[in-house]
């Protein structure tokens, strides 16, 4: 009877959902721009270039209050420039972004102009141009045209990315794929766009079946591979790639990718190991999931869902004593109690309470047929 009881417990409580399917670590830069007259400057363009890695972001403009903000930047260091009438007016390098509130960066073009004038020895730019040779002026003009082309490309790139994000928010995956595809064609070195293209294909796959679903999943895997090639140290990319591999039933590869995510991002290792445990359970490897869920709670003892799933995995080791009572393996009761202490009204609260009530309960092991004749009573004819 114990085997049947364990089966019911596992059937009732071994259900997991993948978490953290898409949580890449994006940041933002914001600030105010004052014009040469010292007043708030409207319509100035903000050019953001990542230092040490390829990555250019453009499209943000100051509003009527001279304020700007650019979201969706990977954590890193940037050079930020203010562009007015197609010409750079000020630039700040070494700007480090952070998670949470946007990094604040303000510009004062009056001070910037005064600084540039002082550095030029108070010689007006027009006079410098007069001293140039014809060849030097031609080189200057050529550079200006090239800069204008770069700015136009960056604007188109940013427009394509933003259009893709809007389509994703509306769950219009075909339109999102089209926009992100335009982005990677304009600049095939943008890991963020490849990652979003992969997410769009994942969303599309969820709406399809059969061969169409498989084709969308394959495209998603290909896009994630490109994103990881461009930025192999991003744990979120490895995590999301792993979940997509799992959907494609490539469990061994998925486990390897989740292990990489945990190694790259130890503070969030608990979440990655939790996802790995989910993969094992969904693949029918309950015994193997026990050690992984244990790793998850070792990495983060206050991860409530991991505590519950660890207890669920341990429930496969329930035994029955000579007195017919269920005996829980070491750690199961403590994990359930820890979960309820952390999540008293959580999604698994009722299940955890039911499992605790089951532990130690007496199981009926002797059954009798109610239709069988009682001792001493004549059999029916």
Q: What is the pLDDT of residues 30-50, one digit of tens each?
A: 999 998 888 999 999 999 998
Alpha-carbon distance 311 to 301, whole Å?
13
Higher pLDDT, 59 or 152: 59
pLDDT above 90 as % of the chain: 41
Q: DSSP 3-state assignment of 349?
A: helix
CA quadruple 28, 32, 36, 40: dihedral positive or negative? positive
Place of tokens 């999102």: 176
When pLDDT is averaged across residues 221-240 and rounded to a whole number, the result is: 93
Q: Is the pTM of this model over 0.85?
A: no
- Spatial neighbors of 126 by CB under 8 A, at least 6 apart, are none
Q: Which two tokens stand for residue 98?
A: 């952070």
Q: How far is residue 224 CA from its own chain's centroid?
A: 12
Cβ 340 vs Cβ 378: under 8 Å: no
DSSP 23: -
Alpha-carbon distance 115 to 82, whole Å?
15
Domains of the chain: 1-20+235-364 (1.25.40.10), 26-121 (2.60.40.10), 148-233 (1.25.40.10)
When pLDDT is averaged across residues 173-179 and rounded to a whole number, the result is: 95
Give the H or E element holding residue 84: strand 77-84
The rounded mean pLDDT for the chain is: 80
90: β partners: 82
Alpha-carbon distance 290 to 56, whole Å?
44
pLDDT above 70 as % of the chain: 77
Q: DSSP 3-state assignment of 57?
A: strand
Confidence at residue 376, expressed as pLDDT on a 0 to 100 scale: 45
């Amino acid at each position: 009877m114990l085997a049947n009881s364990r089966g019911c417990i596992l059937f009732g409580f071994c259900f997991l959902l993948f978490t953290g399917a898409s949580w890449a670590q994006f940041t933002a830069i914001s600030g105010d721009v004052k014009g040469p007259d010292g007043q708030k400057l409207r319509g100035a363009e903000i050019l953001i270039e990542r230092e040490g890695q390829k990555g250019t972001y453009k499209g943000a403009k100051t509003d009527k209050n001279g304020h700007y903000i650019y979201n969706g930047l990977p954590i890193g260091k940037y050079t930020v420039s203010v562009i007015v009438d197609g010409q750079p007016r000020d630039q700040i390098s070494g700007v480090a972004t952070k998670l949470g509130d946007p990094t604040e960066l303000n510009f004062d073009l009056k001070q910037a102009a005064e600084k540039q004038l002082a550095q030029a020895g108070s010689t007006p730019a027009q006079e410098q141009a007069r001293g140039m040779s014809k060849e030097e002026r031609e080189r200057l003009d050529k550079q200006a045209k090239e800069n204008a082309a770069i700015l136009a490309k960056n604007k188109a790139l940013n427009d394509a990315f933003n259009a893709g994000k809007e389509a994703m928010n509306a769950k219009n995956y075909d339109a999102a794929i089209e926009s992100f595809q335009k982005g990677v064609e304009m600049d095939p070195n943008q890991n963020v766009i490849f990652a979003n293209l992969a997410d769009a294909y994942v969303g599309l796959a969820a709406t399809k079946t059969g061969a169409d679903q498989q084709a969308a999943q394959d495209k998603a895997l290909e896009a994630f591979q490109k994103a990881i090639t461009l930025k192999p140290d991003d744990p979120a990319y490895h995590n999301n790639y792993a979940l997509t591999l799992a959907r494609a039933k490539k469990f061994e590869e998925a486990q390897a990718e989740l292990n990489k995510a945990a190694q790259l991002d130890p503070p969030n290792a608990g979440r990655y190991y939790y996802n790995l445990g989910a993969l094992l359970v969904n693949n029918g490897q309950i015994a193997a999931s026990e050690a992984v869920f244990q790793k998850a709670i070792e990495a983060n003892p206050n991860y409530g869902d991991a505590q519950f799933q660890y207890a669920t995995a341990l429930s496969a080791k329930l035994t029955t004593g000579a007195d017919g009572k269920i005996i829980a393996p070491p750690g199961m009761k403590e994990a359930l109690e820890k979960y309820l202490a952390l999540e008293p009204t959580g999604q698994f609260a009722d299940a955890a309470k039911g499992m605790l009530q089951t532990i130690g309960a007496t199981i009926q092991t002797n059954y009798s047929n109610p239709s069988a004749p009682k001792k001493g009573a004549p059999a029916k004819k």
